[in-house]
Amino acid sequence: METAFTPLQSLAGGVLIGLSAVLLMGLMGRIMGATGVLAGFIAPAGLSDWTWRAVLLAGMVSGPAVVLLVTGQWPEVQVPMPRTMLIIGGFIVGLGVTFGGGCTSGHGVCGMARLSPRSIVATLTFMATTGITVFVVRHMLGL
């Protein structure tokens, strides 16, 4: 399976993620960890807590509609994995988020920017696990 190299889109996405993390921290004093945002949306501390989370989540899921408005076509999404593998992967990510105390956006973007030792270790663990997983799935399982 060939992986597309999209440096400009990747750069733009990274800039938007970084900018949103800085704005959320600067304006609200909150860390932008996607799983923490979602958990607080499901079980909010109050209406104002729920509102900012709802707006942030709406922005996260509205990306394809923005692409449609800008380019006139929906973005192409390819998921070259069987549904079973996606379910297993989602379960494993959920376990990692639970036991790791956060996700890649919270640890990798916000935590590392604050030089948090815990976040640095978590991010190194995420990246090593990802590399091993890709090697096993692509080269050993041939998926």
Predicted confidence band of residue 1 (pLDDT cuts 50, 70, 90): low
- For 85: left if phi > 0, alpha if psi spans -120 to 50, otherwise beta; the answer is alpha
> Residue 83: what residue type?
R
What's this model's pTM, rounded to 2 decimal places? Answer: 0.75
Residue with tokens 């799935």: 137
Q: Which pLDDT score is estimated for 80?
A: 78
- List Cβ neighbours of 136 (8 Å cut-off, separation of 6 or more): none
Condensed to tens digits (0 to 9), the pLDDT of residues 66-94 reads: 989 999 999 888 887 889 988 998 898 88
Q: How far, in Å, CA of 139 to CA of 78, rounded? A: 20
Under DSSP, is residue 143 helix (H, G, I), strand (E, B) or coil?
coil
DSSP state of 3: P
- List Cβ neighbours of 131 (8 Å cut-off, separation of 6 or more): none
Tokens encoding 127: 């990246």
Residue with tokens 């909150």: 30
Condensed to tens digits (0 to 9), the pLDDT of residues 5-63 reads: 889 988 998 898 899 899 999 998 888 888 889 989 999 989 989 999 999 999 889 98
